[in-house]
A and B are shown apart, each in its own frame.
Chain A
Amino acid sequence: MNLLTVENLTVTLATGSGDAQAVRNLSFNVGHGEILGVAGESGSGKTMTALSMLGLLPYKGKASGSIKFDGREILTSSKREYRDLRGKEIAMIFQDPMTSLHPMLTVEVQLTEHLRHHRKVSKDAARNSALELLATVKIPEPAAALRAHPSQFSGGMRQRIAIAMALACEPKLLIADEPTTALDVTVQAGILKLLHQLRKERNLSVMVITHDLGVLSSLTDRIMIMYAGSEVESGLTTDLLRNPRHPYTKGLIAALPGNSASNSKNLLSIDGMPPELGNFPTGCAFHTRCNYAKESCKGAIPEVTNLNSTHRIFCPINPFSEVTSAGSQS
Chain B
Amino acid sequence: MKEILNIKNVSVEYDRHGRKVRAVAGVDLTLNSGEILGLVGESGCGKSTLGKAIVGILAPVTGEVVFDGEKVKKLTRGKRPEHFRNLQMIFQDPYGSLNPRRKIGVQIADGLIVAGMPKKLALLKAADLLEKVGLPRNAVDRFAHQFSGGQRQRISIARALAAAPTAIIADEPISALDTSSQAQVANLLVNLVDEFDMGMVFISHDLSIVRRISDRVAVMYLGKIVEVGTVDQIWNNPSHPYTRALISAIPHADGTSFMPQDLPGDVPNPMSPPSGCRFHPRCPLAKEECKTQEPGLRKLGDGRDVACVLQTAGNQPVTITLN
Contact = CB atoms under 8 A, between A and B. Distances in A.
A238 to B, nearest CB: 4
Interface in B253-290: 253-264, 266-267
A38 B110 CA distance: 44
A274 B180 contact: yes
Interface stretch (B61-69, B122-130, B243-251): B243-251
A204 interface: no
Interface residues of A, number: 49
Nearest to B215: A265
Question: Which among B208, B245, B258 has the greatest number of chain A C-beta atoms within 10 A?
Answer: B208
A190 B179 contact: no
Contacts of B263: 186-187, 189-190
A190 B208 CA distance: 19
A268 B249 CA distance: 24
Given A185-B246, A189-B261, A241 B190 contact: no
A217 B186 contact: no
A255 to B, nearest CB: 5
Contacts of B254: 217, 241-242
A218 B180 contact: no
A257 B179 contact: no
- The A contact surface, by secondary structure, is helix
A214 B213 contact: no
Contact of A214 (B181, B246, B253, B261): B253
Contacts of A217: 251-258
Nearest to B259: A218
Contacts of B179: 41, 211, 252, 255
A5 to B, nearest CB: 25
A240 B253 CA distance: 11
A20 interface: no
A187 B255 CA distance: 21
A215 B43 contact: no
A51 interface: no
B150 A186 contact: no
Interface stretch (A63-71, A86-94, A97-105, A151-159): A151-159
Contact of B181 (A251, A252, A273): A273
Nearest to B210: A257
A256 B252 CA distance: 10
Interface string B210-250: 01110000000000000000000000000000000110011
A265 B190 contact: yes
A258 B186 contact: no
B13 interface: no
A186 B267 CA distance: 10
Given A218-B258, A265-B213, A185 B250 contact: yes
Given A214-B250, A214-B251, A217-B258, A41 B180 contact: yes
Contacts of A259: 253
B211 to A, nearest CB: 7
Given A184-B42, A240-B255, A242-B254, A218 B183 contact: no
B187 interface: yes
Q: Which of B206, B208, B250, B254 has the most CB of A within 10 A?
A: B254
Contacts of B212: 257-258, 260, 265, 267
A274 B184 CA distance: 13
Contacts of A256: 208, 253
A75 B186 CA distance: 42
Nearest to B209: A257
Nearest to A273: B148
B178 A42 contact: yes
Nearest to B148: A273
B258 A190 contact: no
Nearest to A44: B178
Contact of A157 (B184, B259, B266): B266
Interface of B: 42-43, 148, 150, 178-184, 186-187, 190-191, 205-209, 211-213, 245-246, 249-264, 266-267
Please list the 9 inter-chain residue pairs (A to B) with the smallest Cβ-Cβ separation, ordered nearest first.
A241-B255, A269-B183, A214-B251, A190-B262, A189-B262, A186-B263, A213-B253, A189-B260, A257-B212
Given A187-B42, A255-B180, 13 more contacts: A186-B246, A192-B262, A214-B253, A217-B253, A217-B255, A255-B183, A256-B253, A257-B208, A258-B211, A259-B253, A265-B190, A267-B187, A272-B180
Interface of A: 41-42, 154-157, 184-190, 192-193, 196, 211-218, 237-242, 251-253, 255-260, 265-274
19 contacts: A185-B207, A186-B246, A186-B249, A187-B262, A189-B251, A190-B262, A190-B264, A192-B259, A213-B253, A217-B254, A218-B257, A218-B260, A240-B255, A255-B179, A257-B212, A269-B184, A269-B187, A270-B180, A274-B178
